[in-house]
Chains A and B, each alone.
Chain A
């Protein structure tokens, strides 16, 4: 079974450009998470969805960031306009939700974003 799929794997863009990151969760998982990882701040949760509905977007840094999940098998994270401080690795993770205490989040390979 395929794991979480993210695209692109690497993105280099110039300041001011729009960036769209894509994620396909594991089939059957109904929770999806977007994280950003930097050396300074570590792994930070940006937003997560349950059954395609955004549940918590308190980690989204500012209005330049937006995320959508139009269906159970696809999500996007958009940055418009991008800035150099957005440079980071962006991970998508998915999980089979429920009340089980140990339900694991499975991470995708990440997208390394560089904004020049």
Chain B
């Protein structure tokens, strides 16, 4: 079992709808969680990070963390075709710089 698990998709969402991406982790020592976006043929780029239980909003993006359930999610509101990419979830332990990545969820926004 991988330490960070994601549904590989593909996930198809109509333009303007809410895209919901999910991630679970097995290491209870994980403290910080990161969402990276990766366009095809490009390198990952950070969208958001979260380390407190609850929601964190940044523009159209909301990250949600539930440590009791070991669950992290990313919501994208008003989805745009430019949001079509692979989304990588990653976790790290406090004081440890190492990130453990999930295999990613491929998201397609349908115009």
B32: interface (CB < 8 Å): yes
Contact pattern, A 43-72, Cβ under 8 Å of B = 1, otherwise 0:
111001010000110000000000000000
Contact pattern, A 88-116, Cβ under 8 Å of B = 1, otherwise 0:
00010001010101111101111000000
How many chain A residues have a CB neighbour from B under 8 Å?
24
B60: interface (CB < 8 Å): no
Most buried by B among A43, A48, A110: A43
Whether the pair A101, B94 counts as a contact (CB closer than 8 A) is yes
Q: From residue 10 to 50 of chain B, which have CB atoms closer than 8 A to chain A?
A: 31-32, 34, 42-46, 49
Which residues of chain A are near B46, meaning CB under 8 Å?
A: 104-105
Which residue from B42, B51, B101 sits with its C-beta under 8 Å from A43?
Answer: B101
Which residue from B43, B45, B51, B98 sits with its C-beta under 8 Å from A45?
Answer: B98
Task: Provide the main secondary structure of the chain B interface.
Answer: loop
CA distance A13 to B62 in the complex (A): 43
Task: Provide the main secondary structure of the chain A interface.
Answer: strand
Whether the pair A101, B98 counts as a contact (CB closer than 8 A) is no
Whether the pair A107, B44 counts as a contact (CB closer than 8 A) is yes
Residues A107 and B100 in contact in the complex (CB < 8 Å), given A43-B88, A101-B31, A101-B51: no
Residues A42 and B99 in contact in the complex (CB < 8 Å), given A102-B49, A108-B43: no
CA distance A65 to B21 in the complex (A): 34
CA distance A73 to B42 in the complex (A): 23
Which residue from B31, B42, B45, B98 sits with its C-beta under 8 Å from A48?
Answer: B98
Which residues of chain B are near A91, meaning CB under 8 Å?
A: 43-44
Contact pattern, B 87-111, Cβ under 8 Å of A = 1, otherwise 0:
0100000110111111110000000
CA distance A103 to B49 in the complex (A): 9
- CB closest residue in chain A, given B46: A104
A interface residues (Cβ-Cβ under 8 A, vs B): 31, 33, 41-45, 48, 50, 55-56, 91, 95, 97, 99, 101-105, 107-110
19 contacts between A and B (CB under 8 A): A33-B99, A41-B103, A42-B88, A42-B101, A43-B44, A43-B103, A43-B104, A45-B98, A45-B100, A48-B98, A50-B97, A56-B98, A91-B43, A95-B97, A102-B49, A104-B46, A104-B49, A108-B43, A109-B42
